[in-house]
Amino acid sequence: MARDLRQSPGYAAYMRSLGWQVTDGVFIKPIPFLPFTLIKIQRPSRLPKLSALKKFRPVYISIEPQLGAKPPKGFKPTTPLLPSKTVRLNLTLRLPRLLAGMHPKTRYNLKKHQLPVKIFRGDKVSASVLESFFQIYRHNSRRQHFWGVNFTQLKSFVACFGKNAYLVVCREGGLLTLVYDKIAYYSHNAATIKGRQQFAPTILTWKAIKLSKKLKCHTFDFEGVTDERFPLTNKWAGFTRFKRSFGGKTVQYPGAFAKWLLP
C-alpha cells in the first residue's frame, strides 16, 4: 500500500512550520504554559506503540487509520480532521479511457472550452503568481464561508513540498497538486465567478490529471467528498458532484478515533 501524503517529508516540514513537533509521522502539539501535549496520528503505515508516546505526556491522542486498518483498542469514534471518503482515479489507464469514464457533461465542457493554462513547480513558482492565486482563493473562502489557509501558510505549504508541488493556473483560477509516493493529490483550489462560467475548474483539473500521468503517478486522489457517516460533510455536495464527474472509484477510510488520558 502506498504511503499517505500526511506521512511525507513535505507534510512533516509544513506541520513543523505551524509549531508542531514531528516524530516518526506522529504530530505533537505542546499545550502553552503546561507540561502536556496533544497528539494526532494521520494515516500511518502502521500504528506506533502508544507506550512510546508517554514521554510526550499527551492528554489527548487522535488517530486516523489507513485503509483497511482496524480502530485502535480503547479509542472512541470522533470527527475526522482529514476527509474520510474520497474519489481516486486510476492513472494507469490511457487518456481516452479516462475521458470515457467521465460524466458526459464534463467531457463535453473539456472539448468545448479552452483557456490558456500555465504550470509552475513549487520550487519555481514566483511570489507574484502565488499571491494572484491566493487572492482568488481568499475571495472564494469568504464567499463560500469556509476557513482557509492564510498566505503565509500557503507559501509555507508550497515551499515545504517544493519539487513535489505543482500549481496549475489560468487567469481566473488555479489548482495546487501535491505528489507523494506516486499518488497525486488534489489540494487547494479556487476560481473566480467568471472562471466558473468558463469552466476553469474542469479545465485545470484535467490539466492536473494529465500532468500527474506524465509524472508517472498511478493514482489521482481528489482528497475528500461527502461522507454520510459525518453530517458535517453534507455541505460538500457541490464539489462532491464536481469531483465525481471525472469518474474514478470511491474510497472510504475507517474514520477517526480519539482517547483522553489523565495527566
Cβ-based burial of 161 (10 A; exposed 0-12, middle 13-18, buried ≥19): buried
The x, y and z cell numbers of residue 130, run together, are 502565488
| Interatomic CA distance for residues 117 and 81, integer angstroms | 32
pLDDT tops 70 at residue 1? no
Phi-psi region of 247 (alpha: psi -120 to 50; beta: other; left: phi over 0): left
Structure-block grid coordinates of residue 173: 483560477
- Sign for the pseudo-dihedral over CA of 196, 201, 202, 203: positive
Q: What is the pLDDT of residue 144?
A: 73
| Residue 244, pLDDT above cutoff 80 | yes
Residue 145 pLDDT greater than 80, yes or no: no
**Domains in the chain, please, with CATH?**
5-82+254-260 (no CATH), 85-252 (3.40.630.30)
What tens digit of pLDDT does each residue of 191-201 get? 999 999 999 99
Contact assessment for residue 21 and residue 30, using Cβ atoms and an 8 Å cutoff: yes
Distance (Å, whole) CA 62 – CA 19:
18
What are the phi and psi torsion angles at 90 (to 5°)? Answer: -85, 105
Report, in angstroms and rounded to the nearest whole number, the Rg of the chain calculated over CA atoms. 19
41-85 per-position pLDDT tens digit: 999 998 888 889 999 999 999 999 999 898 888 999 999 999 999
The pLDDT mean for the chain works out to: 94
DSSP state of 139: H
Q: Is the pLDDT of residue 146 over 80?
A: no
In the numeric block, the cell 508542531 is attached to 20
pLDDT of 2 above 80: no
Nearest to 168 by CA among 139, 127, 133: 133
Mean pLDDT over residues 82-108, rounded? Answer: 97
Q: What per-residue confidence (pLDDT) applies to 49?
A: 87
Find, among 50, 69, 71, the residue nearest to 61 by Cα: 50
